[in-house]
Amino acid sequence: MATARERILTATAELLATKDALAISTRAICDRAGVGMPEIYRQFGDKQGLLTAVADTGFERFLANKRRNPLTDDPVADLRTAWDSHVAFALGNPHLYRLMFTPTGEAKPQAIKEAQALLLAAVRRCQDIGRLRRPPELAAQSILSANVGVCLMALSFPELFGSLDISQSVRDAVIGKVTGDEQEDARIGTATVLAQALVGTLTATAPADPDAVDRLARGQARQAR
């Protein structure tokens, strides 16, 4: 038999799979855990303390789940899969997720710092390959805020915000902006190459062939419409 503290934690987590955190009574927890009521207060001091402890163990599962994702050689893609696993966790454990990310009262789970540290490491990997357009801390905070927002809205208003299209849209928007979109980079790279080539062409031909620019002008006007 596990220790009393662990039994209380697992009992609360199990009840949390069904009911909301506020709809769970301490007596129901004690019945399921096979302990007396004072045990909760001996171990956690408070119902709030118990709930934050449960939230912290939830973060452990959450982080273990994320660490299980193998890292590829594309850190930006890793960022996207981390986002998706975050969303999957939220939709799979709605009450636990709300307990983790919208704590009531004063006591906040400490483990969110670890979550942010993990995300920060993933962001730094993007920085190492030169694909980061923000300070790493700001990038990690931005991604996590947007990610949590999508999840909480999907949980609170599933009929209006439950679509995964929203998650994908916001995901690509914020990650794309923070890391620099590949397509955008490609276009800019194309522009650079083209500009150099064109400038070279013009400097080589313009003195001898001023009509080239003129011909270019009317073609552009026609192409614009």
Partner DNA sequence: TCAGATGTGTTAACGCTGATATCGTGCAAG
Partner DNA sequence: CTTGCACGATATCAGCGTTAACACATCTGA
Residue 47 CB, nearest distance to DNA (Å)? 3
Which of the listed partners (its own copies, DNA, none) does 217 bind, with a CB threshold of 5 to 8 Å by partner kind?
its own copies
For residue 107, what are the contacts with CB-CB under 8 A and spacing of at least 6? Answer: 46, 48, 49, 52
- Residue 49 interacts with its own copies (CB under 8 A): yes or no: no
Interface residues toward DNA, by CB under 7 A: 3-5, 24-28, 34-43, 45-48
Binding mask 141-160 for its own copies (x = CB under 8 A): xx-xxxxxxx-xxx-xx--x
Which of the listed partners (its own copies, DNA, none) does 138 bind, with a CB threshold of 5 to 8 Å by partner kind?
its own copies
- Residue 117 interacts with its own copies (CB under 8 A): yes or no: no
Residue 29 CB, nearest distance to DNA (Å)? 8
- Residue 129 interacts with its own copies (CB under 8 A): yes or no: no
For residue 50, what are the contacts with CB-CB under 8 A and spacing of at least 6? Answer: 8, 9, 12, 29, 40, 43, 44
Radius of gyration of the chain (CA): 26
Please give the full DSSP string across 32-73, using - where no structure is assigned: HHT--HHHHHHHHSSHHHHHHHHHHHHHHHHHHHHHTSPP-S
- Residue 121 interacts with its own copies (CB under 8 A): yes or no: no
- Residue 55 interacts with its own copies (CB under 8 A): yes or no: no
Which of the listed partners (DNA, its own copies, none) does 110 bind, with a CB threshold of 5 to 8 Å by partner kind?
none
Which of the listed partners (DNA, its own copies, none) does 113 bind, with a CB threshold of 5 to 8 Å by partner kind?
its own copies
For residue 140, what are the contacts with CB-CB under 8 A and spacing of at least 6? Answer: 116, 119, 120, 122, 123
Task: Read off the amino acid at residue 154.
Answer: A
What letter would DSSP give residue 106?
A: S
- Residue 124 interacts with its own copies (CB under 8 A): yes or no: no
- Residue 98 interacts with its own copies (CB under 8 A): yes or no: yes
Residue 183 CB, nearest distance to its own copies (Å)? 9
